[in-house]
Structure 1
Amino acid sequence: MPEYHETMTSSFRPRLAALALASLTFLGGCASLAPKYERPAAPVPEQLGEAAAEAPAVPVADLGWQAFFTDARLQQAIALALQNNRDLRIAALNIERARGLYGVQSADALPAVGVAAGETAQRVPGDLSTTGQGRVTRQYSATLGFSAYELDLFGRVRSLREASLQQVFSTEAARRTTHIGLVSQVAGSWLTLAADRARLELAQATLKSQGDTLRLTERRHELGVSSDLDVQRARTTVETARADAARYAGQVQADLQALQLLLGTPLPPALMPGSEATALGFAPLPAGLTSEVLLQRPDVMQAERDLQAANATIGAARAAFFPRISLTASVGTASSSLSGLFGAGSGIWSFVPQLALPIFDQGRNRSNLQVAQADRDIRVAAYERSIQAAFREVADGLSQRQSLVEQLAAQQALEDAASRAQFLSQARFERGVDDFLSVLDAQRSLYAAQQGRLSTALAQQLNAVTLYKALGGGWEAATRTAEAGDTPAAAAR
């Protein structure tokens, strides 16, 4: 048996080598029929912002969130969200799924070699047997080979593989979009919680001071110095402050629940923002930019990857019009007895090339090509729309930034003036120069100015966060470096 095994191996090895060489020759000569990809021109103005400026030393897309958000509590809150948020976890799992699908599609580019062993038993009745007696025949076989391996002469398999790879890149970009969006949402929710807590503290402090004023007015009324009208006016300011305090208390709880949903875990008390967070600043962002920075946004990258996948699918649809050649080959042994399966003379082999050429398919291939071309055109429009939406977000953020700076300065000056007016009005009332109505008006003006300053400060902070996100920021550079070996391209290899 060893001698025959060597003889059989030397006999079939040249055939397999020749078959493999022929397959590699076919594969090396195949070409994709997909259209040559060209990035569509951006349908937006070239300039972002009012005036051109030199490119920043560090592009915003490479400015990590830890460098932009400098408050330690906010950084820890964002880190908690990146660890526990379910939307981000789903986005990461979608990448694993896309990589798996790419692996399945890539497997079609090479033959799948397998081993098969089996037994075939058959009983022949006597009237059909040459001996006139019923008998049972058995056949044993063991083979090694591949089945229905397609020679990709016209790039159908290659185009499908390319489309699947682009989908992997698309899901990676989608994960980055989710990552960046989560960072900005957590920052916005944390800042909103800080502003509402400051509003609540202001309302509670106003309620206390107005309550003291009401008690003093009631005492003056008992002594006949103030009228009942003064008492009722003082009471209106107290109830207004009480209503605001209750409203902001509910809003703080709603803000906290919204933030904890983003975090995926309860917010530790140590990370709770204080009223001082309303004056929190961030790293500076450039003012004048070109629209090319929009190409660094992951949602724009995702739209382009989807477009490239659709472009590759056209190649597969075109290849369907041409012949498809598939090969089935096997080598092994067969015998009527199990003991003779590897005996002398038991060697078998088969080679089955097949050619399939579509002739009358009732327009199926043409319709598939039409669908692929329509999908490509849809992806072009989606890519252009993503750039237009990105341009609007950045342009709006840049245009509002300077306006909010001026508004905040005006609100601060208004608050200072209202505070001075309230002090003077109170002094004039105590000296009998003005009536109590002027004091109440001054108190209301000061309260409204303080609330307005908090709202404007929050709007300025949210504008900075939104602009940072719109420019593609929020992806930690350290994270990107750590995952460089785990990119879709690395997984593809």
Structure 2
Amino acid sequence: MKRTIACILLGSVLVISSCSLRQQYVRPEAPVPAEWPSGAAYSPKLGDDAAAMASKLSWDAFFPDECLQWLIQVSLNNNRDLRLAALNVEKARALYGIQRAELYPSLGATGNIDMQRVPADLSSSHTATTQKQYSVNLGISSWEIDFFGRIGSLKDQALETYLASEETRNSAQISLISTVAGAYLTLVADKEALSIAQSTLATQQASYQLILKRLQAGVGTDIDLQRAKTQVDSAQADIWRFTQQIAKDLNALNLVVGKPVDEELLAKDLAGIRPLQPISPGLSSEVLLLRPDIRAAEHRLLAANAQIDAARAALFPRISLTTAIGTASADLGGLFGSGQGTWLFAPQISAPIFDARLWSAYDAARIEGELAIAQYEKAIQSAFREVADALAIRGTIDRQIEIQQSLFQSASRTYELANQRYAQGVDSYLGVLDAQRAMYSAQQGLVQLHLAKLANQVQLYAVLGGGAA
């Protein structure tokens, strides 16, 4: 009998491997061009041959600045959003382990004591009796043999869900790194803008005192004094505005880092930050599929396909097996005696004849698969646009900085000449006022463009899939 059971189990395994209804996965074609866009807004050469691919460049290699490296490392250890993403990965891994275990029989041991009183009129001896039975069994309870791949498909679905959650955690890490870098760069840029405002205030206060002395000497005019005062007040307003913004920037940085940051450790201006490493965008068809969010979308697509296979397999019969071996006796002392052995072999097959719910479940799973394909394709298209936008900024930002630098130099020279003309009495203070406003605006604009360039480098690194390692 034991040999017969073994043959049946072996035959079941062989049949399982040949009767699976699972379909072969074919990756949908990426609905984007194979190359990045070109034109006036893009660099003639998108990538440097010596530059590394973002997905192969670790975040600490891309950010050589030691202060920024420290901030990112602290955030990776303390950020709550990333911690939640990691816990979701652990949960998905545990659920996958549960589903995978369904493929294998569960071996268990049971011990029973059955006691029953039989009244006299029901007893064969016409006397009231108490019947006892002791038993110990070891066996498999209702193990479903995965004849058509239903359980295997559910296992694959759980696996793909787990892998999708892991890629989602990687995507969350990339987002966190870019957010920390962006918050840090914004804080440093606002500190530099505050320094410019403070320097401008000092200059305006000196001009105000000079005009006041000229007015007291009968040389200046009251309108020039009031114009100078408006510049002093404007510079003071900017100082308090930047002071407020720096406080908000620091609060934002503390939030993403996960602990208070000592402001004294941060750079004073953007020039004090070590340059970021150059990266190559490569080809869109190669790069986009390496992004964690795209990989997560593909794993969700694979999970949807596995759900379709499971729903299809549910339309076919199910075979389950219950087996047990043990010992039983009416006397506890003879439970393990010779000749008390028992065994049980109970295969069962159940076939759905008419169950509309199964067909509806199959239709729902099929539609979920189509939704997953659409979401996967949309994720690729969104990623393509993100990279294309970042490349457009990279292709034009250097030229903008050059023009802004030239504008600042011209405004500075104009301010010097206007001051000289006013001191010589050739022109009114209105020319000095206009020149100073233009110079201040150009200088602040230059800071913002330098910030935009650094932020674009960070964004490009993130959208190309860097920072997951």
TM-score with structure 1 length normalisation? 0.90
The answer to whether the Cα contact below 8 Å between 1:179 and 1:474 also exists between their aligned partners in 2 is yes
**1:16-35 equivalences in 2 (<5 Å):** 17-18=6-7, 20-31=9-20, 33-35=21-23
In the alignment, which of 187, 190, 196 is matched to residue 184 of structure 2?
A: 190
The answer to whether the Cα contact below 8 Å between 2:288 and 2:380 also exists between their aligned partners in 1 is yes
**1:28-47 equivalences in 2 (<5 Å):** 28-31=17-20, 33-47=21-35
Cross-structure match for 2:395: 402
Q: Distance in 2 between matches of 1:341 and 1:256?
A: 75
Name which of structure 1's ranges 251-260 and 132-141 shifts more when overlaid on structure 2.
132-141
Cα-to-partner distance string for 1:447-480 (whole Å, 9 max, x where unaligned): 111111011111111111111111111123xxxx
TM-superposed CA distance for 1:124, in Å, is: 1.4
> CA 1:15–1:339 in structure 2 vs 1: closer, same or farther (change >3 Å)?
farther
The answer to whether the Cα contact below 8 Å between 1:26 and 1:151 also exists between their aligned partners in 2 is no
Q: Counterpart of 2:211 in structure 1: which amino acid?
A: T
Q: Counterpart of 1:331 in structure 2: which amino acid?
A: I
Cross-structure match for 1:147: 141
Cross-structure match for 1:420: 413
Q: Distance in 2 between matches of 1:365 and 1:301?
A: 31
The answer to whether the Cα contact below 8 Å between 1:26 and 1:152 also exists between their aligned partners in 2 is no
Q: Which runs of 5+ in 1 are unaligned?
A: 1-11, 477-493
Q: Which runs of 5+ in 2 are unaligned?
A: 39-43
Name which of structure 1's ranges 344-353 and 388-397 shifts more when overlaid on structure 2.
344-353
Identity %: 45
> CA 1:23–1:376 in structure 2 vs 1: closer, same or farther (change >3 Å)?
same
**1:151-170 equivalences in 2 (<5 Å):** 151-170=145-164
TM-superposed CA distance for 1:280, in Å, is: 4.9
In the alignment, which of 363, 367, 389 is matched to residue 374 of structure 1?
A: 367
> CA 1:82–1:56 in structure 2 vs 1: closer, same or farther (change >3 Å)?
farther
The answer to whether the Cα contact below 8 Å between 1:297 and 1:472 also exists between their aligned partners in 2 is yes
> CA 1:264–1:54 in structure 2 vs 1: closer, same or farther (change >3 Å)?
closer
Q: Counterpart of 1:292 in structure 2: which amino acid?
A: E
SS state at 1:47 partner: coil
TM-superposed CA distance for 1:386, in Å, is: 0.4
Q: Is the counterpart of residue 107 in structure 1 residue 101 in structure 2?
A: yes
Name which of structure 1's ranges 435-444 and 54-63 shifts more when overlaid on structure 2.
54-63
> CA 1:277–1:30 in structure 2 vs 1: closer, same or farther (change >3 Å)?
farther
TM-superposed CA distance for 1:28, in Å, is: 3.6
**1:222-371 equivalences in 2 (<5 Å):** 222-269=216-263, 271-277=265-271, 280-286=274-280, 289-361=283-355, 363-371=356-364
TM-superposed CA distance for 1:285, in Å, is: 2.5
Q: Counterpart of 2:436 in structure 1: which amino acid?
A: Q
Q: Distance in 2 between matches of 1:309 and 1:113?
A: 29
Q: Distance in 2 between matches of 1:139 and 1:294?
A: 68
Q: Counterpart of 1:465 in structure 2: which amino acid?
A: V
Q: Distance in 1 between matches of 2:410 and 2:64?
A: 32
Cα-to-partner distance string for 1:146-202 (whole Å, 9 max, x where unaligned): 111111111111111111111111111101100111111111110000001111111
Q: Distance in 1 between matches of 2:284 and 2:354?
A: 53
Q: Distance in 2 between matches of 1:330 and 1:288?
A: 61
TM-superposed CA distance for 1:380, in Å, is: 0.2
The answer to whether the Cα contact below 8 Å between 1:49 and 1:288 also exists between their aligned partners in 2 is no
The answer to whether the Cα contact below 8 Å between 1:150 and 1:326 also exists between their aligned partners in 2 is yes
TM-score with structure 2 length normalisation? 0.95
Q: Is the counterpart of residue 96 in structure 1 residue 85 in structure 2?
A: no
Q: Counterpart of 1:254 in structure 2: which amino acid?
A: K
Q: Distance in 2 between matches of 1:339 and 1:293?
A: 73
TM-superposed CA distance for 1:34, in Å, is: 2.7
SS state at 2:102 partner: helix
Cα RMSD for the two superposed structures: 1.8
* Number of corresponding residues: 463
Q: Distance in 2 between matches of 1:475 and 1:399?
A: 24
SS state at 1:205 partner: helix
